[in-house]
Copies of this chain bind each other. A is one copy, B any other.
Amino acid sequence: MEKIFSYQQLYQFTHAIFTGIGCNNNDATTAAEALLAADLRGIDSHGIARLTGYVRLWEAKRINPLPQIKIVHETPSTATVDGDAGLGLVVAPFAMQVAIEKAKVAGTGWVSVRNSNHFGIAGYHAMMALPHDMIGIAMTNASALVAPTFSIERMLGTNPIAVAIPADKQPPFVADFATTTAANGKLELLQRKDAPAPLGWVQDKQGNPSTNANELKHGGTLLPLGSDREHGSHKGYALGSIVDIFSAVLSGGSYGPWVPPFPAYVPMPANMPGTGLGHFFGAMRIDAFRPASEFKEHMDNWISRFRNATPATGHDKVLIPGDPERETEAIRIAEGIPVVDSVVDELNVLGEKFGVML
């Protein structure tokens, strides 16, 4: 069961909690907007459902509520940012803004970030580029749940990639996806319903195919996009690896099996080779390649041609990346955001602790 809340209700609560852990007003605003973008866009696993988790990381002193976020190295088109253990929800918009400013001058901007934490949904940060007539790119590593092809060991996170591309009359193209067959949030939905997972999402701890949605609790692993070697899992493994390397080996963050875990009760890995999570951001000015108006007309043409591609039997239309999330956002702004009861209960406990009412 679930309750419906207006965006404003969730926003005020979230802002108050971030203020409660010691964020200043600006950072609490930035963090609440970034976090709730997930709930608006229907990616419920990454929104307010994680608020308690962020607070636990603060309690464990793994999140610094008043970070001094700094550019530690730069060139005309690049920067390396140290997030000072801040909320990824605050560090990421800072770094993406640096990429945008670089792009204004150099044509493109590329920022690798270390010493950060979970940043919510990648798509939100990539979309910051759109009002500037820029293409936005965002990615992050995450704690290890995924086994490389031919392995049973947790070596990579679900390491998402987002790419946002502006159009003219058409809405923008916004791809935002985990580099695994299915994101962990999808497994959590199945666990709640006690339903099996499709073959190809997880393997058991010996590496056998499994349909148990709870397999990760028994030492199993998520599978890279492609599921198995025959269906291209080496490509998903390569994509997840590229995200890991761009986000953390470039910046000096921690990578692979050494990425700090999101659950605060899980001990930090021993011998970490870098500090905190890593992210990677890019901004490319459209008119660094061709006039923006020309590009956006062609994007309109691209989008409408693909939207009108012949559908397969049983399907009425072909979707453009970003369509489902945009449709959900329109509905949720109008009708409110559903939050499942177990999350509402957790938020109420959190609210009591900080003297805030949901």
Measured CB to CB, the residues of A under 8 A from B are: 73-78, 80, 105-108, 110, 112, 135, 147-153, 155, 163, 165, 173, 175, 177-182, 198, 200-201, 203, 206-207, 225-227, 230-232, 234-239, 241-242, 244-246, 249-252, 255-257, 273-274, 284-286, 288-290, 294-295, 298-299, 301-302, 305-306, 309-315, 317-319, 321
Q: Please, how many angstroms separate the alpha-carbon atoms of A289 and B85 in the complex? A: 19
Evaluate contact between B290 and A252: CB separation under 8 angstroms.
Answer: yes
Q: Nearest 5 CB-CB pairs, A to B?
A: A207-B312, A75-B107, A175-B238, A78-B107, A150-B315
A135 neighbours in B (Cβ, 8 Å): 246
- CB–CB A311/B150 < 8 A: yes
A311→B177 contact, CB < 8 A: no
Complex Cα spacing A221 to B166, Å: 29
From B147, B239, B285, give the contact of A309 (CB < 8 A): B147
Contacts of A180 in B (CB 8 A): 232
Cβ of A297 to closest chain B Cβ, rounded Å: 10
Say whether B112 contacts A110, CB under 8 Å: no
Decide if B231 touches A310 in the complex (CB within 8 Å).
no
Q: Please determine whether A302 and B226 come into contact, CB atoms closer than 8 angstroms.
A: no
Q: Which of B73, B106, B151 contacts A75 (CB 8 A)?
A: B106
Beta-carbon contact of B288 and A77 below 8 Å: yes
Q: Residue A311 contacts which of B151, B249, B302 (CB distance < 8 angstroms)?
A: B151
The answer on a CB contact under 8 Å between A310 and B106 is no
User: How far, in whole Å, are A108 and B226 apart by their CA atoms in the complex?
Assistant: 31
Question: How far apart are A319's CB and chain B's nearest CB, in angstroms?
Answer: 7
Partner pick for A273 among B226, B301, B312, B321, CB 8 A cutoff: B301
Partner of A151, one of B74, B181, B312: B312
